Amino acid sequence: MDATDLARVAVFAGIVAVLGLPGGFSVFGAVPITAQTLGVMLAGAILGPWLGALSMTALLTLVAAGLPLLAGGRGGATVFIGPTGGFALGWILGAFVIGLIVHAGARKPVWWRTLLGIVVGGIGAVYAIGIPVQSAVTHLPLGSTALQSLVFVPGDLIKAVIATLVVRTLVRAYPRAFRREWARTSRRRSEGARSQAVGSRPVGSGR
Amino acid sequence: MVTLYRPGSSLWHLLATGRKALVLAALVLAISLLPQAWGRPTATIPAALCLACYAVPGIGLRVLLGQLVAMRWILIVTAVGQLIFLGPGPALVNTTRIAALISIAALLALTTRTTDLLDAMERGLSPLSRLRIDPQRVALLLAVTLNTVPALTRAAGQVREAQRARSARPSLRRFAVPFLILALKHADELGEALTARGVR
């Protein structure tokens, strides 16, 4: 991990924090349905498994140290003890799984693999940790807890679709976001094409 | 950055960070292990403990009320789920127990400076250095992360204002791409600045 990776890990932790700030997109009346999980999905999809998971770990460490960086200004070790603690901890595994699937084989992300990775990691893995923890804390049976969690699935699916669209746009328009081998080659190619176009323009054709 | 810490000189403030964390963790564990079969007492014991923890001079029950208001959504969602699946009796018992649990755990961040907590964590995690994790690098990552928040908040504001100026309706999708590109450019600059200062 070089300094640029360190900065990118820090920035994605910051992105998740900023997406949880008030004045965001807390719609559905006053119930805070936040965009933070969108940030988790993007962290895994853009940074890849290891750096994505590291980024979430850094964020949650700061939260545990008492910084109110989770949606609704929540923070402190108490976040991990309450019923939603498992969902926050699940972000680490979630980002990791997303990164694994989206960047499988170090190939350029295609839309279906991106969507698959984000749904499996960003929803599946996060719920897989969140629901058992919630069930243990609330003494509500596992099945009922899972049933209750279904309420949040539509919102998370919308976020998964948005994240997929955002990743697709970045792959096309800003491949250096991914800092991967394929991004480097595609950039070289497009730069080559541009220099050719500049070179072929007749001298003095401008105003 | 505003933290959850409230300055004061209560008993909790005076307790050393590590010891305080242990005491609170023990309380949380004890409450979690109360047998469900006891019925009412599994709610009244945590509630009494919680009140006792906050009744210490220098904190007060007003702070406890603030905590409960801050976590109202979690409590409401929990209570609704319990009401639907378990009925009113268990719902009351479990929601009270959870409210007490979260409030007691919240005392750690309320009465300890963030820097003290980070120091305590660093000490607690020192065995990690055996796994070849450099504590200095961890500290650097956390410091850089903290510093990105104001810059990214500004970037988010810029994107929102630019879209409002073009009378675009606020949409998460249209917000995300320009915000991410600004954030990634910030990351590149940050990386260069770190490299220039000799961070590898």
User: Do the chains contact at A77 and B109, CB–CB below 8 Å?
Assistant: yes
pLDDT of chain A along its 207 residues, tens only?
889 999 999 999 999 999 987 655 544 444 456 789 999 999 999 999 999 999 999 999 999 998 989 987 888 888 999 899 999 999 999 999 999 999 998 888 899 999 999 999 999 999 999 999 999 999 899 999 999 999 889 989 999 999 999 999 999 988 888 888 787 776 555 555 555 544 444 444 444
Q: Within B112-132, where are the H helices? A: 114-124
Nearest chain A alpha carbon to B174 = A166
Q: What is the pLDDT of residue A202?
A: 47
**Which residues in chain B are closer than 8 Å to A159, comparing Cβ atoms?**
172
Closest CA to A159 of A36, A15, A23, A48: A36
- Does any CB of chain B come closer than 8 Å to the CB of residue A148? yes
How far is it, in rounded angstroms, from Cα B199 to Cα B123? 23
More confidently predicted of B19 and A203: B19
**CATH code assigned at A115:** 1.10.1760.20
- A74 bridge partner residues: A70
The residues spanned by each domain of chain B are 11-124, 130-196
Q: What is the pLDDT of residue A196?
A: 52
Q: What is the pLDDT of residue B126?
A: 78
How far is it, in rounded angstroms, from Cα A147 to Cα A156? 15
In which residue are the tokens 């070289």 written?
Answer: A188
How far is it, in rounded angstroms, from Cα B59 to Cα B71? 18
Q: What is the pLDDT of residue A170?
A: 93
Q: Mind telling me how many Å the CA of A196 is from chain B's nearest CA?
A: 26
Give domain status of residue A78, yes or no: yes
How far is it, in rounded angstroms, from Cα A165 to Cα A118? 11
Give domain status of residue A186, yes or no: no
Give domain status of residue A183, yes or no: no
Q: What is the pLDDT of residue A28?
A: 42
| pLDDT above 90: residue B74 | no
**Residue A161 lies in domain:** 3-176
Decide: pTM greater than 0.90: no
| pLDDT above 80: residue B60 | yes
DSSP category for residue B40 = T
Give domain status of residue A185, yes or no: no
Query: Can you tell me the mean pLDDT for B84-111?
Result: 91
Q: Mind telling me how many Å the CA of A102 is from chain B's nearest CA?
A: 18
| pLDDT above 80: residue B48 | yes
In this structure, is the dihedral angle defined by the CA atoms of residues B149, B153, B159 and B163, taken in order, positive or negative? positive
Quick one: angle between helices B72-86 and B61-70, nearest 10?
Answer: 70
**Which residues in chain A are closer than 8 Å to B94, comparing Cβ atoms?**
138-140
**How many angstroms separate the first and last alpha carbons of chain A?**
48
User: In this predicted complex, what is the ipTM?
Assistant: 0.87
- Does any CB of chain B come closer than 8 Å to the CB of residue A128? no
Closest CA to B47 of B107, B94, B88: B94
Nearest chain B alpha carbon to A8 = B187
Q: Mind telling me how many Å the CA of B88 is from chain A's nearest CA?
A: 13
Q: What mean pLDDT value characterizes chain B? A: 88
More confidently predicted of B137 and A46: A46
Q: Which residues, 6 or more positions from A157, have their beta carbon under 8 angstroms from its beta carbon?
A: A119, A123
**Segment B163-178, tens digit of pLDDT:** 888 877 777 788 899 9
Phi-psi region of B113 (alpha: psi -120 to 50; beta: other; left: phi over 0): beta
Q: What is the pLDDT of residue A205?
A: 44
- What is the number of structural domains in chain A? 1
Q: Which two tokens stand for residue A24?
A: 């965001």
How far is it, in rounded angstroms, from Cα B129 to Cα B120? 15
Confidence at B82, pLDDT banded by 50, 70, 90? very high
More confidently predicted of A22 and B65: B65
User: Do the chains contact at B141 and A144, CB–CB below 8 Å?
Assistant: no
